[in-house]
Amino acid sequence: MTHTSSESGLARAPRGFSWRRWRNRKIASPAFQSWASRFALTRRHSKREGEKLFDLVSGFVYSQVLWAVVDLDLLTATCDAPQSVSALASRCRIPEDRMQALCQAATALELFERVKGGYQLAPLGAALIGVPGVIGMIQHHDVFYRDLEDPIALLRGEKETELARFWPYVFGAGSAENPEVADRYSRLMADSQSLVAEETLRTISFDGIRRLLDVGGGTGAFLAAVGARYPDLKMTLFDLPAVAPAAEARFLDRGLSDRTRIVSGSFRDDPLPEGADAISLIRVLYDHADETVRALLASVHAALPAGGRLIVSEPMSGGDQPQRAGDAYFAFYCMAMQTGRARSAARIAELAQEAGFVEIEIPATRRPFITSVVTARKPGVA
């Protein structure tokens, strides 16, 4: 039976020789694999590719080893001095032979190193303690992991995901009224915010901005970081009512109360406060579907004066150059949340242009796995 290109879902292949098809068939042959692993000129490459492939095959086990190490608090337990397997085993109520297996696995993953017959934290493990937010991120992966258990059901939209319930605020303003829920997501967001703020501040300058409005600003961690760097900047935070008390407390604690204003509301239903010459959307767009993003960008445009600046910062897809963080991790995370998507900078630029923005720029960040940035201006002169 012949298939048309639309039936197979593939673009019509060009007739004649296809180098990629030849290459793929060659590599896919067991005989070639066996030859490549023995032949002197291909042996090293073949070993490297084999290791890469094995890492893909077994990555979920590595993540679970990491999760166990973090959740059993072994990072702290092994930070200062080597620990014997028996001490760690009795501390965690795990049989010794299994604790030995966990320590060996953590050592193989370079989280631990063997010291004096015991195990101690290695530099990579120690970095986990120092990177803000990463431990909270790992610990909430038990939820994400269950959502990924059947990736095909997830892809088909047949799965009721737990992450959608973990972050219920994205469904609408009303559902974030529960302070306990608001507190749970706000803490995780705020803990990881310092890296996002650091990367954003390193990438763009806020010079010349007099008042910055941070929409979906959470508990104010981003504004606190920007305010510390720009001491004359006035700031407004706009978010759902449930997060206002924590933001107020943060601004008070940082001595920022006289430079900040908190406005509670929902960008789905309320107009954004006016008076800012720049509006930031930090890790907000990827939570929402295109129609919400379109409406939000239109509100941002309406609230800005002529010449006003839009700043978007969040993890993004690599677009034509897919990246692991944006196109695997965050794309599947957003899929499990069921409301938004990781968009490429080019797609965000397109949506900003549709909303009427000009001078759209995509400055490169040093660590795109933390965040990427798009900036734009409302036409006209201030």
Ligand X SMILES: C[S@@+](CC[C@H](N)C(=O)[O-])C[C@H]1O[C@@H](n2cnc3c(N)ncnc32)[C@H](O)[C@@H]1O
Q: Which range in 78-86, 113-121, 169-177, 343-351 contacts ligand X by CB under 6 A?
A: 169-177
Q: Which residues of 357-382 are buried (b: 16+ CB within 10 A; e: fewer)?
A: beebebeebeebebbbbbbbbbeeee
Joined tokens for residue 229: 């760097």
Sequence letter at residue 204:
I
**Which residue in 112, 144, 169, 251 binds ligand X (CB under 6 A)?**
169
Give whole-number Cα distances, 227 to 131, 137, 237, 257, 282, in Å. Answer: 21, 26, 12, 11, 15
Distance in angstroms (rounded) separating the CA atoms of residues 86 and 99: 8
Sequence letter at residue 29:
S
**Which residue in 163, 221, 276, 297 binds ligand X (CB under 6 A)?**
221
Does 339 help bind ligand X (rule: CB under 6 A)? Answer: no
Q: Please tell me the number of Cα atoms within 13 Å of 337 on its side-chain side.
A: 22
Joined tokens for residue 334: 């957003």
Q: What's the min distance (Å) between Cβ of 66 and ligand X?
A: 23
Distance in angstroms (rounded) separating the CA atoms of residues 138 and 115: 26
Does 147 help bind ligand X (rule: CB under 6 A)? Answer: no
Q: What's the min distance (Å) between Cβ of 292 and ligand X?
A: 8
Find how far residue 41's CA is from the centre of its chain: 40
Of residues 75 and 212, the one with the C-beta less far from ligand X:
212
Does 340 help bind ligand X (rule: CB under 6 A)? Answer: no
The residue ranges of DSSP E strands in the chain, in sequence order, are 112-115, 118-121, 211-215, 234-239, 260-264, 278-282, 309-314, 358-361, 372-377
**Which residue in 268, 298, 353, 359 binds ligand X (CB under 6 A)?**
268
Of residues 193 and 323, the one with the C-beta less far from ligand X:
193
**Which residue in 251, 267, 330, 332 binds ligand X (CB under 6 A)?**
267
Q: Which range in 25-33, 76-84, 204-212, 239-247 contacts ligand X by CB under 6 A?
A: 239-247
Beta bridge partners of 310: 279, 376
**Which residue in 147, 199, 239, 277 binds ligand X (CB under 6 A)?**
239
28 CB-near residues (< 8 Å, 6+ apart): none
Does 317 help bind ligand X (rule: CB under 6 A)? Answer: no
Of residues 172 and 318, the one with the C-beta less far from ligand X:
172
Q: How many residues bind ligand X (CB under 6 A)?
A: 22
Does 225 help bind ligand X (rule: CB under 6 A)? Answer: no
Does 193 help bind ligand X (rule: CB under 6 A)? Answer: yes
> Using an 8 Å Cβ cutoff, are 377 and 349 in contact?
no
Does 287 help bind ligand X (rule: CB under 6 A)? Answer: yes
Does 315 help bind ligand X (rule: CB under 6 A)? Answer: no
**Which residue in 284, 297, 303, 312 binds ligand X (CB under 6 A)?**
284
Does 218 help bind ligand X (rule: CB under 6 A)? Answer: yes
Measured in degrees and rounded to the nearest 5, phi and psi for residue 266 equal -115, 130
Of residues 78 and 280, the one with the C-beta less far from ligand X:
280
Point out which residues bind ligand X (CB under 6 A): 169-170, 173, 176, 189, 193, 196, 216-218, 221-222, 239-240, 243, 266-268, 282-284, 287
